[in-house]
Amino acid sequence: MSSAVDVIRTKRDGGTLSDEQIRWFLDSYTNGDVADEQASALLMAIVWRGLSPAELATWTQTMIDSGVRLDLSGVGRPTVDKHSTGGVGDKVSLPLVPLVAACGAAVPQLSGRGLGHTGGTLDKLESIKGWRADLSADEVRKQLATVGCVVCAAGDDLAPADRKLYALRDVTATVESIPLIASSIMSKKIAEGTEALVLDVKVGAGAFLPNIDDARRLAETMVEIGTRAGVRTSALLTDMEYPLGRAAGNALEVAESLDVLRGGGPTDLLEVTLALADEMLRLAGLTADPREALVDGRALQVWNEFVRAQGGDPDAPLPVAEHQVVVRASKSGYMQNLNARSVGVAAWRLGAGRARKEDPVSATAGVICLAKPGDYVSEGEPVLELHADDKARFADAEAALVGSFAIGDAEPEPRPAIHARIS
């Protein structure tokens, strides 16, 4: 029989935890038999000492086994999902999920809410009149079989060990650990029952891991976890130096996603969406071309069916903020850069994001990037448009944008939307 102190000491001193120690500790913590302070001590030891691939596989599997694993074997289509590590203007899931479903896959996306400068998929979709995020497992299976896709909140019985550990990591400065990040993401994704998974790991100023080497290590770690668990897994490293697309904010991002589904939308958003769609369909063993599903309207049709299936009205107008102000160019020239994190913080301060999980969010608040790096702007031309329902929020948002972009004479070199593929 293990003891919490023995497990903590082993990892503190750089030792390797046995499968039995990991399972005992996580099960005991989830059941309330190990105290928060002991779990905090082990988490900090892992931050410093890491986990071997074998330890990480057992750690992740134990978190999966702490709850239920959805059985999607009866949906009648190959199942594949996508997970993003989060960014600014990252609304890719909104056009991507119905697009891949229109190509013959079933996409079971269990999503989360925004925190800080990064937006949450559920917050975005809840700006649609009537749309609901909470579905039962039976509703998920039925919708996958009929519509081909679902986006909803994870149930309380999905990887409860991760939910408890995540809350503890948030208040003990133990979030920044690649093994802990990877196991947290992958335990939930594997528990949702998908056969294949594509990871969208963001790189750049607006990303959780701005450094490309760190992002690559996280991607490689998650791909290894998924593969060991029998889930066909790959990853794309995608750019988050600048906001993705032009809109950052809940209803604003839904509107931009609809532009993509109607065959338009910003080129960077379209490029990332199609790259992920290609990868998802490849892992699912399907040969359909997602570009054709955009052109012929099938993706938009699936979007409408998906929204209706979850109680929403796809024909209802999206809410619009009461007030808008613009940030203007101080001189003429080419936009040299646009810091994604600064734009995300501004959108958050306007009301689009939350500081704590229980905070409300505004459906209408956000930022529209009227100009992006590489665009030529004239002195006095609006560069950013800020949206809010409360005028008092503009001052703090504008403060976040000071120094967020530069204008120069030379046209900047474009950044790649896709940095690498990892499988």
Q: How confident is the model at residue 115 (pLDDT cuts 50, 70, 90)?
A: low
Question: Whose CA is closest to 25, among 1, 52, 49, 51?
Answer: 1
Beta strand pairing status for 149-153 and 107-111?
parallel
Is pLDDT at 114 greater than 80 in this prediction? Answer: no
- Residue 24 tokens, joined: 């005992």
Q: How confident is the model at residue 116 (pLDDT cuts 50, 70, 90)?
A: low
| Burial environment of residue 21 by CB neighbours within 10 A (0 to 12, 13 to 18, 19 or more) | buried
| Chain centroid offset of residue 139 CA | 23
In this structure, which amino acid lies at residue 365? A
Residues marked as catalytic? 83, 162, 169, 184, 188
The reported pTM is: 0.94
Question: Whose CA is closest to 135, among 164, 155, 118, 115?
Answer: 155
The pLDDT, as a whole number, for residue 171 is: 84
Read off the pLDDT of residues 311-353 as tens digits, 9 standing for 90 and up. Answer: 999 999 999 999 999 999 999 999 999 999 999 999 999 999 8
Question: What average pLDDT does range 178-189 have in this prediction?
Answer: 94
Please enumerate in sequence order all residues whose Cβ is within 8 A of that of 213, keeping only pairs 6 or more positions apart, or say none. none
What share of the chain has pLDDT > 70, as a percent? 99
The pLDDT, as a whole number, for residue 186 is: 96
The pLDDT, as a whole number, for residue 329 is: 97
The pLDDT, as a whole number, for residue 167 is: 85
Read off the pLDDT of residues 285-302 as tens digits, 9 standing for 90 and up. Answer: 999 999 999 999 999 999
SS3 276: helix
Could you give the CA distance from residue 218 to residue 64 in angstroms, rounded to a whole number? 19
The pLDDT, as a whole number, for residue 4 is: 94
Is pLDDT at 147 greater than 90 in this prediction? Answer: yes
Question: Range with the lowest mean pLDDT among 107-121, 392-406, 408-422?
Answer: 107-121
Is pLDDT at 62 greater than 60 in this prediction? Answer: yes
The pLDDT, as a whole number, for residue 1 is: 53
The pLDDT, as a whole number, for residue 249 is: 96
Could you give the CA distance from residue 367 to residue 387 in angstroms, rounded to a whole number? 6
DSSP letter string, 77-131: S-BEEEEE---SS--THHHHHHHHHHTT-BEEEEE---BTTB--HHHHHTTSTT-
The pLDDT, as a whole number, for residue 339 is: 97
In this structure, which amino acid lies at residue 90? D
SS3 162: helix
SS3 151: strand
| DSSP tally for the chain: helices H, then strands E | 16, 13
CATH architecture entry for 4-50: Up-down Bundle (1.20)
CATH architecture entry for 323-408: Alpha-Beta Complex (3.90)
**CATH topology for 80-159+169-309?**
Pyrimidine Nucleoside Phosphorylase; Chain A, domain 2 (3.40.1030)
Average pLDDT across the chain, whole number: 95
Q: Report helix angle 178-191 to 212-228, nearest 10.
A: 40
Are the CB atoms for 312 and 130 separated by under 8 Å?
A: yes
Question: What average pLDDT does range 90-98 have in this prediction?
Answer: 97
Q: How confident is the model at residue 156 (pLDDT cuts 50, 70, 90)?
A: confident
Please enumerate in sequence order all residues whose Cβ is within 8 A of that of 365, keeping only pairs 6 or more positions apart, or say none. 249, 250, 321, 347, 350, 351, 352, 387, 388, 389, 393
Question: Whose CA is closest to 400, among 359, 324, 344?
Answer: 344
In this structure, which amino acid lies at residue 220? E
The pLDDT, as a whole number, for residue 219 is: 97
Could you give the CA distance from residue 211 to residue 202 in angstroms, rounded to a whole number? 10
Q: Annotate 272-292 with b (16+ C-beta within 10 A) or e (fewer).
A: bbbbbbbbbbbbbebebebee
Q: Which residue has the higher pLDDT, 357 or 153?
A: 153
Percent helix / strand / coil, the chain, rounded to 5: 45, 15, 40
What share of the chain has pLDDT > 90, as a percent? 90
- In the chain, where the domains are located: 4-50, 80-159+169-309, 323-408
Is pLDDT at 265 greater than 90 in this prediction? Answer: yes
Question: What average pLDDT does range 377-399 have in this prediction?
Answer: 97
Q: How confident is the model at residue 166 (pLDDT cuts 50, 70, 90)?
A: confident
The pLDDT, as a whole number, for residue 214 is: 95
Question: Range with the lowest mean pLDDT among 6-15, 52-61, 293-302, 358-367?
Answer: 358-367
Is pLDDT at 354 greater than 90 in this prediction? Answer: no
The pLDDT, as a whole number, for residue 8 is: 97
